Structure 1
Amino acid sequence: MTSASLSPRPAAPGVSERTAPALWRYALAEQWTRPAYLAESADGWREVSWEEAGRRVDALARGLLSRGVGHGDALAILAATSLEWVLLDWAAMSIGAVVVGLYPTNSAKECEYILDHSEAVIAFADSDEQAAKLRGARLREVVLFRDLDRLEEEGRANANAAYPPVSEDDLATLIYTSGTTGPPKGCMLTHRNLVAAAAHVDRGVTHPDDVILLFLPLAHSYGRLVHESSAFHGFTTALLADPTRAAEALPAVRPTVIPAVPRVYEKIHAGVLSQLEQAGGAKAAIGRWALGVGVDVSRRRRAGRRIPPLLRVKGRLADRLVFAKVREKLGGRLRLGISGAAPLSIDVLEFFHALGILVVEGYGMTETASSATVNNPEDFRFGTVGPPVDGCELKLANDGEILLRSPTIFAGYFKDPEATRTALTDDGWLRTGDVGEIDADGFLTITDRKKDLIITAGGKNISPQNLENALKTSRFVSQALVVGDRRPYVTALVTLDPVEVEASGRDPQELVQEVVDDVNRDRARVEQIKRFAIVPRDFLQEEGEVTPTLKLKRRVVEEHFAEEIEALYR
């Protein structure tokens, strides 16, 4: 069965009862002196102590009870990353309610499906615009963030209400993830899963004196992992609603750690290189020289090789002339970036290491509460996603598929026992659908994907088949291939039915644009097709581009039309 395996490390120390309420009580009992959160306000960033957060979570929890929300009820949140989101998360889980996160970019149709499928009884939204998306769902109540004060007042008046008991195997959250076909599936994560994942962030990755800038969406398991880990490790979390304002937030927050998807690091990398080139003349030459020196130092350090005295001198000079200035623009204290959800190129990793900022990669899925493997800052290897976290078992099937077994492995897909049986073996191993290699020291490298699911550079899972099938509903479209894996946005190659196009008497480009606009209409922004190309012929079986049953052979088509695809990203 296995071509390589790694046994679990000893379980990480943690709270005795692995439930979210117990984890939250643990955080409050630790009485950390640093702020729990930094929250955006009209006057800048406001510190929120653990004591204040604890009072508000308790008031919100009792307020929910006063409105009839109880153990096992689904509670949805449609909002950007914010203090209100995290406090509601802790409050809901404290009374045994099930948190269902919705992306601010979700369409009304997507929201309605998830709310109805999860049987949510109440939903919270951070604006009237977001609340409008919830009108079609069967909900008892929709509450706007601006009315949370009233809910807290009700909670304080309900001070004698008893919290329902919560067990480790109770459902804590439903996180919906796109599949290769059909509607999104709800991953059932228990309290045991979430607390185990929070404990796994240890191993020297974060420290209690860290300040983490969090702009990941909290509807995503990666964002939830980071925010819930703060209760286990005591670091301060700065909550930023708008990721496009990260550059503005950096000098004010001065973070030490940034968890992000690859696209964030790629944009910083491209931005710095662009600024250096735009400077021109001597400044550009010095910048190129400094990066060359920095990368040389980085490679020698990672290989355990000696750094010659002259190179050390050059490194200090490069730091003073270039790197220190770049780090200052990133807040001046940034020591670590944690990248997940999609691969990051070694060029980008080396660039940051040259600057004096280590970026490490990790691996996880919604089905593992985003926790499986991670590189330790004290022992890392670029191009890998690190060894398993504490308590996680990792092995490869005969075909190279990565299999995982861990306390973080989900309880299954909500209302979908067939998909659950497909994902989990009888003895508890998760079939990830990814193919990888494990080196002699247990470091995992992702080499391929068994499934066709696209993961954009921004970390969003997208089903290409759903988009392709939607395109092909038009009579003008013969075939379609959707592209976007590890890329900044989604594009499509389209072949046309010449008879239908000719009969229409219209410009083919305009016709396809209308089709694409129609397909995009009810989809989240990140799932929309941004650009397309019309290719002059159908994908052919003789060229190895489709199977006898006309299923696309994606890699072959992408190889044959590589030039057209690359043009869509220029």
Structure 2
Amino acid sequence: MTPAPERFDTLPAAFQHTAAVDPAAVALRTPGDTRRLTWGEYAQLVREFAAGLAALGVRRGDTVALMMGNRPDFYPLEVAAQHLGATSFSVYNTLPPAQLGHVLGNAGARVVICEPQYVARLRACGVALDHLICLDDAPAGTLPVAGLRTAGAPDFDFDAAWRAVRPGDVATLIYTSGTTGAPKGVETTHANLLFQVYGVAEVLGIEFGDTITSYMPSAHIADRLTALYAQEVRGVQVTCVPDPSAIAAALADLHPTIWGAVPRVWEKIRTAIESKVAAEPDPDRRAAMQWALSLAVTRGEYALSGRELPAESAAEWQRADDLVLRGLRVALGFDRMRWAMSGAAPIPPATLGFFAGLGVPITEIWGMSELSCICTVSHPRDVRLGTVGTLLPGMQARTAPDGELQVRGPLVMKGYRGLPEKTAETIDAEGWLSTGDIVTVDADGYFTVVDRKKDIIINASGKNMSPTHIENTVKAATPLIGAVAVIGDGRPYNTALIVLDAETTGPYATRHGLPDASPAALATDPTVLAAIETGIAAGNAQLARVEQIKRFAVLPVFWEPGGDEVTLTMKLKRTVVAEKYADRIADLYRAEPPAEVREPTAVAEPVNR
């Protein structure tokens, strides 16, 4: 059943409509249906929790923070706060006390709802809270969620509370990655989020009963949009996956109709597919799978170039699809998928091409927290691989003389919380938001992101290059590489710091009989270094000569999300990397570098650009 195509101007109004469409339908679940919550049960919990929060003094304009994993309990608690007109938001569960204190203090949080393991950290963060509400076994001094559920006053006017919410009220805060300083709180209104969901639904199609997983942190705008807000506004059923490493099993359990992931997840799925084929014990079956994948790669290459697959090759691919690829999509859980998206960072074109050839309909999107998440997107049938689609209807865009994209329209944030000067630096008097991204736009309005303006490399000869493009090209060449930091600004040639992938290196060490899988041991192992050299050389073959990596060093560490070098969303903190590894970078440019500095061997002629 699909709800009437009505549009609402606040999240509570949309939720009340959606929850009444089919109260017996499942709204929330966990893999294997170990937990299920119907829309009717969901709506009742929202009513009870809203009354409980109101009894604690939460009013319109107050701020409520949530700190918990991906679980069904999150949704009615968050949505209840929305129904009071409160600003409800999530904090990253990995934040240390000092950063937690910064975020909660900047947000002005009065109430935090959390899991027990975070209570000590919250108490140590230095922010005085009115109430700490706890799930599961609530520690002493906290209010159990069960108590919140029954704390509401009998005369609480639930309908009056949610009807008082206004479109311009701040619905949530999204804290930026903090690549260049302390995270900033992006104030996002109900009007922003409703325009966002309706716009994406118009382009891609989102229907009541569509199914999706929630596995990314709920502090990330991508998870909030595709799970929480798409659910409230369009009735998407959400499967909560508490452990991101279990996403493959969750996909096979759910067979989602819509889905999204960051590039690194798509790259890992591709690696898993190729590894599974290589490990197939039946030689005939393995040969058939390799044949099918080779045809998928060919089809993807044609898609990347914008060319039609020749009729003879198309017929051969269809045969491969009937015999192998369709079954592979079923095994992955991708067989019911109408669309999938990739965002948050550029995805290597070869990865997009691989999935296009496999028959998985991915669209690459572009957006940012300051624009409520997604600003450019195209339906998979209209995708031009390598671009991030066209503007959402109702948005405007222009490029500054230096190529920086500026955007105006209903997606633009209200501002940065407590930072009017920063807001004014980002949004001008006419409402144009400077995105910080350098883009190109073709004649049909398709956008291609070149790189972050502040990250562009200008070498000693004055050549402008995108480090992200170089890094993605190299990472796509070997799954052993988890992160690459390209250096070359003001230098005669490009070099790179290489960090091994924490998930891939363990199985690699086992397969090759390596006794020590620590990053320190692997960074000096000849077989690992040879594989990295080959991968970088393969990546270089896809780059213009001036872009190629001439020297590299493998660091004896893993970079953890939220650590010194990368943000929680795995974006490089380039300034921090340059300062922390200044000596290693200097080694890369010495006339006679130390032994740990390597030079990739050539495997093919580079592309001519």
1:192-203, aligned counterparts within 5 Å? Answer: 192-202=191-201, 203=203
1:7-43 Cα offsets, whole Å, 9 max, x none, are xxxxxx7524x22222212323434774322246xx7
**Match status 1:336 vs 2:336:** no
Question: Who is 2:135 aligned against?
Answer: 145
Residues 386, 139 of structure 1: alpha-carbon distance in 2 compared, 3 angstrom cutoff? same
TM-score under structure 1 normalisation?
Answer: 0.76
1:102 Cα deviation after fit? 0.5
* Deviation digits for residues 193-216 of structure 1 (CA, Å, limit 9, x no counterpart): 111111122123433342112212
State the secondary structure of the residue aligned to 1:142.
strand
1:94 paired to 2:109? no
Within the candidate set 114, 118, 121, 2:107 is matched to 118
**Letter paired with 2:252:** P
Tell me the CA shift for residue 59 of structure 1.
1.1
Q: Alpha-carbon deviations, 1:516-558, whole Å to 9, x = none?
A: 9xx8599969689999795284798x99xxxxxxxxxxxxxxx
Secondary structure at the aligned position of 1:441 is classed as coil
Which residue pairs with 1:275 in the alignment?
276
Structure 1 residues 422 and 143, CA gap change in structure 2 (3 angstroms): same
Q: Given the superposition, is the C-alpha separation of residues 209 and 170 from structure 1 closer, same or farther in structure 2, using an over 3 Å criterion?
A: closer
Residue 312 of structure 1 deviates from its aligned partner by 4.4
Is the CA contact 2:71–2:240 (under 8 Å) kept in the aligned structure 1? Answer: yes
Letter in 1 for 2:246: R
- Name which of 106, 120, 127 aligns with 1:132: 120
Amino acid across the alignment from 2:210: D
Q: Which amino acid aligns with 1:105?
A: T
Helix, strand or coil for the counterpart of 2:122? coil
- Residue 475 of structure 1 is matched in structure 2 by none
**Residue range with higher mean Cα deviation, 310-319 or 374-383:** 310-319
Using the alignment, how far apart are the partners of 2:455 and 2:314 within structure 1? Answer: 46
Q: How far apart in 2 are the matches of 1:211 and 1:444? A: 29
Q: Give the Cα–Cα distance (whole angstroms) in 1 for the partners of residues 172 and 33 of structure 2.
A: 32
CA contact (8 A) 2:403 2:439 kept: yes
Correspondence for 2:297 among 290, 295, 298: 295
Report 1:68-87 matches (<5 A): 68-87=57-76
**AA in 1 matched with 2:62:** D
Matched residue, 2:551 = none
* One-letter amino acid matched to 1:131: V
Ranges in structure 2 where 5+ consecutive residues have no aligned partner: 137-143, 457-466, 476-483, 486-494, 504-518, 520-555, 592-596, 601-609
Query: How far apart are residue 220 of structure 1 and its match?
Result: 0.8
Deviation at 1:300, TM superposition (A): 5.3
Give the C-alpha shift of residue 225 in structure 1: 1.0
Q: 1:260 to 1:365 in 2, by over 3 A?
A: same
Give the superposition deviation at 1:238: 1.4
Over the matched positions of the two proteins, sequence identity in percent amounts to 30
Aligned pair in 2 of structure 1 residues 156, 374: CA closer, same or farther (>3 Å)? Answer: farther
Q: Compare relative contact order (CA 8 Å, sep 6+) and give the higher one, 1 or 2.
A: 1
Return the alpha-carbon distance in structure 1 between the equivalents of residues 498 and 88 of structure 2.
30
Give the equivalent residue in structure 1 for 2:387: 384
Equivalents in 2 of 1:422, 1:488: separation in Å?
38
Letter in 2 for 1:93: Q
The offset of 1:124, in angstroms, is 1.0
Q: Does structure 2 retain, via aligned residues, the 8 Å contact 1:189–1:411?
A: yes
The Cα offsets for residues 226-268 of structure 1, whole Å up to 9 and x where unpaired, read as 1202222222221212111112212322212221111111100
Count of residues in correspondence between the two structures: 490
In terms of mean alpha carbon deviation, does 274-283 or 392-401 score higher? 274-283
Q: Please report how far the alpha carbon of residue 413 of structure 1 lies from its aligned counterpart in structure 2 after TM superposition.
A: 0.8
SS at match of 1:184: coil
Q: Residue 393 and residue 537 in structure 1: after superposition, are their counterparts in 2 closer, same or farther (change >3 A)?
A: closer
One-letter code aligned to 1:224: R
Distance 2:39 2:285 in 1: 46
Q: 2:407 is paired with a residue of what secondary structure?
A: strand
Using a 3 Å threshold, how does the CA distance of structure 1 residues 448 and 563 change in structure 2: closer, same or farther? farther
Tell me the CA shift for residue 46 of structure 1. 3.4
- Which of 360, 365, 369 is 1:362 aligned to? 365
Partner of 2:316: 314
Q: 1:180 to 1:348 in 2, by over 3 A?
A: closer
Which residue number in structure 1 is paired with residue 218 of structure 2?
Answer: 218
* Residue deviations 1:466-497 (CA, integer Å, cap 9, x gap): xxxxxxxxxxxxxxx99799x999x9xxxxxx
Cα deviation for residue 315 of structure 1 reads: 2.1
Contact kept, 8 Å, 2:49 with 2:148, in 1: the verdict is yes
CA contact (8 A) 1:105 1:525 kept: no
**Superimposed CA distance per residue, residues 151-176 of structure 1 (whole angstroms, 9 cap, x where no aligned partner):** 12223745446416211111111111
**Deviation of residue 218 (structure 1)?**
1.2
Superposition RMSD in Å? 3.9
Give the unaligned 5+ runs of structure 1: 1-12, 459-463, 466-480, 492-511, 544-560, 565-570
How do 1:159-238 and structure 2 match up within 5 A? 159-160=156-157, 162-163=160-161, 165-202=164-201, 203-226=203-226, 227-238=228-239
What does residue 535 of structure 1 align with?
584
| Contact 1:339–1:359, Cα closer than 8 Å, also in 2 | yes
Opposite residue 366 of structure 2, the aligned amino acid is Y
Per the alignment, residue 154 of structure 1 pairs with 151
523 and 387 in structure 1: CA distance in 2 versus 1, 3 angstrom threshold: closer
Whether the aligned pair in 1 keeps the contact of 2:344 and 2:366 (CA below 8 Å) is: yes
Aligned-residue offset at 1:335 = 4.1
Deviates more, 1:240-249 or 1:436-445: 240-249
Q: Residue 7 of structure 2 aligns with which residue? A: 15
Distance 1:84 1:68 in 2: 21
Deviates more, 1:24-33 or 1:382-391: 24-33
CA shift in 2, pair 1:371/1:488, >3 Å: farther
User: Does the residue aligned with 1:451 lie in a helix, a strand or coil?
Assistant: helix
Pair 184,297 (structure 1): closer, same or farther in 2 beyond 3 Å: closer
> Given the superposition, is the C-alpha separation of residues 522 and 300 from structure 1 closer, same or farther in structure 2, using an over 3 Å criterion?
closer
| Residue 142 (structure 1) shift | 1.2
| 1:382–1:32 Cα change, 3 Å | farther
**Partner SS, residue 352 of structure 1:** helix
Question: How far, CA to CA, are the matches of 2:371 and 2:412 in structure 1?
Answer: 5
Aligned AA for 1:19? T
The 1:312–1:266 alpha-carbon spacing in structure 2 relative to 1, beyond 3 Å, is same
Displacement of 1:562 after TM fit?
A: 8.7
- Runs of 4 or more consecutive aligned structure 1 residues displaced over 6 Å after TM superposition: 453-458, 481-485, 521-525, 527-533
SS for the counterpart of 2:373 is coil
Structure 2: how far apart are the matches of 1:182 and 1:444? 28
Structure 1 window deviating more from structure 2 (190-199 vs 312-321): it is 312-321
Distance of 1:523 and 1:109 partners within structure 2: 16
